[in-house]
Amino acid sequence: MRGALLIAKKEFLELSKDRKTLFFAFVLPFLLYPAIFGMMAKMSKRDEAQNRNKASRIYVSDPSGALTGVLQGDPKRFELVPKPEGDLKQALRDQKLDLALEVAPGAAAALEKHETFTVAVSVDESERTSEMALKRLREAVKGQEKTWVQARLQGLGASAQLAEPVKLEVKNAADTALEMGKVMGRLLPYLLMIMMYTGAMQHGIYATAGEKERHTLLSLMATRLPRNQIILGKLLYIFCMGVIAALLNLLSMGLSIPFMGGGSTGSMQAVAAIANPMTLGLTFLIMVPLGLFFSNFILLMGIQAKNTIEAGSAITPGIFLVVFLGVFTMAPGVDKMAFLSYVPVVNVCLALRKLFSQQFSWAEYLIAFAMTVGLAGIMTLVSTRVLNREKALFKA
């Protein structure tokens, strides 16, 4: 094992000489995420403030005037605009207005007869301003409906509460920490796998195929160190770089989360509740065999490649598989599929998802951990045996 540690030390010493790589690997994550999260939070708040203080542009076709007065009486929320030229749907897509309202011609007469009338609404649900206009319209119509119903009940001599037999009071059982935990539980496994794989990949290519391109692999093989020690040393280096990359990025993201909440007390409490020693410890524990599995694959592909271009072509498709698995585990209802607890890599994502969502299951975690350890062990054995062959190391 001493030989493997010497090889790993050699790789780290070579890394320490490359200042640009050190900056991108260790410094950039702490600059990037706070800047991105802070900018996103600032833009979101500015957009929300602008939409909240801006009246929704609405075209109203109301021949009988049943709803026009209601909308005109609230100029802070509604701005009635003339009918635009051309098709209404195209005008909505071109953002010339936020919502188009067409009230049935006989609406006023229907009201007098205590009958129902139809209101057709055209909206572009892909635009946030249109969604807000629709929300405002629903609130305005609901309030006016209540006024009309109460007037009808009063005319009949009935209680105004007859139209509202139940008043629903909603109490949110989830606190800020739980809501934040569920969001992190969906995103964290996906981000963790991506960061770990990409962090190990770039350094793995340099330590394997790059060694061939620099013509230093032969001199390394000519030393007294056993070949399997050299292979294990490179594996240890690749694994360490993958884990370090994941931890640094996740730490930076954790420190940047308060920016999304504007530094509020609730966001700080949520971070403190999520980042407890047990959660972080169990996350790191299951990262180890997962990182070892990724590192073995990268080492196996990289050291068999003739050059860095071929190594990149062989290793890069693994990112798409990692992305697919990560996105799949983010889908709603996936955590309720019991058989996925026995699917490698996917079960790690699900275990972490439940861990951060305060729905942790020791049984599922241990199954995922044991399967990942076994898979990493098998992969280490296979890669060591394959790479001990001359044909694999010196592929022409």
Q: Name the residue ranges covered by the structural domains of the chain.
A: 2-39+176-393, 50-162
Report residue 367's pLDDT band, with 50, 70 and 90 as the boundaries: very high
Name the least confident of 3-12, 134-143, 173-182: 173-182
pLDDT at 150: 82
Given a cut of 60, whether residue 141 has pLDDT beyond it is yes
Which class is domain 50-162? Answer: alpha beta
Distance CA 289, CA 377 (A): 8
Q: Are 4 and 229 in contact (CB under 8 A)?
A: yes
Angle, to 10 degrees, between the axis of helix 176-207 and the axis of helix 317-330? 170
| Distances 264 to 171, 259, 261 between C-alpha atoms, Å | 22, 9, 6
pTM over cut 0.85: no
Distance CA 41, CA 144 (A): 36
Name the least confident of 162-166, 192-196, 361-365: 162-166
Amino acid at 82: P
Query: To the nearest whole number, what is the mean pLDDT of the chain?
Result: 80
Name the least confident of 61-65, 207-211, 260-264: 260-264
User: 3-state DSSP: the chain helix, strand, coil percent, rounded to 5?
Assistant: 70, 5, 25
Amino acid at 156: L
User: Higher model confidence: residue 239 or residue 385?
Assistant: 239
pLDDT at 231: 83
Given a cut of 70, whether residue 69 has pLDDT beyond it is yes
Name the least confident of 9-18, 52-61, 169-178, 367-376: 169-178
Report residue 268's pLDDT band, with 50, 70 and 90 as the boundaries: low
pLDDT at 370: 92
Given a cut of 60, whether residue 55 has pLDDT beyond it is yes
Structure tokens at 160: 């105004």
Three-state DSSP class for residue 103? strand
